[in-house]
């Protein structure tokens, strides 16, 4: 794969189906060749079984959430999570998944920006080092909405450029998860891709649209389907990624009331695919 490709997160598509093979078939039915899947799901279904099902249906796993949030646990819980991570990373790697992602909270009431930065580097670099042993990368997602940091004592990181610096300081297998909504509600600088050195700096991409309204007043959710409202200049994002030569997954994360109201899983996946095809045409 030498260009960016569509992947489907069935949870973000509000799909109710839980059977792993049926989810693969649903994604494939509407033209997806990649899905996101978590370590727990892979391990519960069995690595060999998952690998066989992927091969049988010509599907691949593009990425997975990091199984825990490194900076949201106390020391004991973090130590336990780190003990479990090698087996989880091994399971994901064994089924061809090479990317994990995690979001980074944009503010704190207890840690200054400098203290929080050091804390994130310590925790994230430890997790990234384990992933690296299994040939995996870690993508860090910045959270853009002003409402997420309003009233907090200490503002942390909420732009792509700041998150790239943190990623660089956490390991050579750490990069950026670029989310169009977080870009729109955060810096919203049209030259953002000029500040990203090359495509290897990006691990994953989320696409969506925004409700009509002042970006500074928008919460994290709800959002809109990719291309639905035209509030987000999605062409700027897609063209910027193409200019960089980005070769990773692009995934819809719409948090859409319209999508949630659809009655069947088929309707939801078909809708996501139509939106994705439209913005990437």
For each of the domains in the chain, give its residue range(s) and CATH number, in order of start. 5-280 (3.20.20.150)
pLDDT attached to residue 171: 98
Chunked into runs of 10 residues, the chain (281 residues) has average pLDDT values of 91 97 98 98 98 98 98 98 98 98 98 98 98 98 97 98 98 98 96 96 98 95 98 98 98 97 98 98 93
pLDDT for the residue 248: 98
Query: DSSP strand E in 56-122: where?
Result: 60-65, 99-104, 107-108
pLDDT at 2: 75
Sequence-separated (6 or more) residues with CB below 8 Å from residue 254 = 12, 208, 209, 223, 224, 225, 226, 228, 272, 275
Tell me what pLDDT residue 1 has.
54
Cis ω for the linkage preceding 222 (within 30 of 0): yes
Tell me whether strands 5-7 and 137-142 are parallel, antiparallel or unpaired: unpaired
- Looking at residue 246, its pLDDT comes to 98
Computed on alpha carbons and rounded to an integer, the radius of gyration of the chain in Å comes to 18
> Cβ(214)–Cβ(234) under 8 Å?
no
Structure tokens at 267: 């309707």
């Amino acid at each position: 794969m030498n260009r960016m490709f569509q992947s489907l997160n069935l949870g973000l598509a509000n799909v109710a189906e839980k059977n792993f093979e049926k989810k693969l078939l649903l994604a494939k039915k509407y033209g997806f060749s990649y899905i996101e899947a978590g370590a727990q799901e892979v391990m519960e279904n069995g690595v060999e079984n998952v690998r066989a099902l992927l091969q049988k249906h010509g599907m691949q796993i593009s990425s997975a959430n990091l199984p825990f949030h490194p900076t949201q646990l106390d020391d004991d819980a973090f130590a336990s999570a780190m003990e479990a991570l090698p087996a989880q990373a091994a399971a994901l790697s064994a089924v061809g998944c090479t990317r994990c992602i995690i979001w980074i909270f944009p503010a704190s009431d207890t840690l200054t920006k400098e203290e929080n930065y050091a804390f994130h580097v310590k925790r994230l670099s430890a997790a990234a080092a384990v992933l690296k042993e299994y040939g995996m990368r870690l993508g860090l997602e910045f959270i853009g909405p002003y409402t997420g940091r309003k009233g907090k004592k200490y503002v942390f990181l909420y732009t792509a450029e700041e998150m790239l610096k943190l990623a660089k300081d956490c390991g050579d297998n750490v990069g950026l998860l670029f989310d169009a909504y977080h870009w729109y509600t955060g810096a919203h600088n049209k030259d953002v891709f000029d500040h990203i050195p090359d495509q290897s700096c990006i691990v994953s991409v989320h696409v969506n649209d925004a409700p009509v309204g002042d970006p500074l007043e928008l919460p994290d959710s709800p959002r809109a389907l990719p291309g639905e409202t035209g509030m987000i200049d999605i062409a700027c994002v897609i063209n910027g990624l193409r200019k960089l030569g980005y070769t990773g997954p692009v995934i819809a994360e719409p948090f859409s009331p319209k999508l949630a109201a659809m009655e069947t899983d088929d309707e939801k996946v078909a809708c996501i695919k139509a939106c994705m095809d439209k913005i990437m045409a």
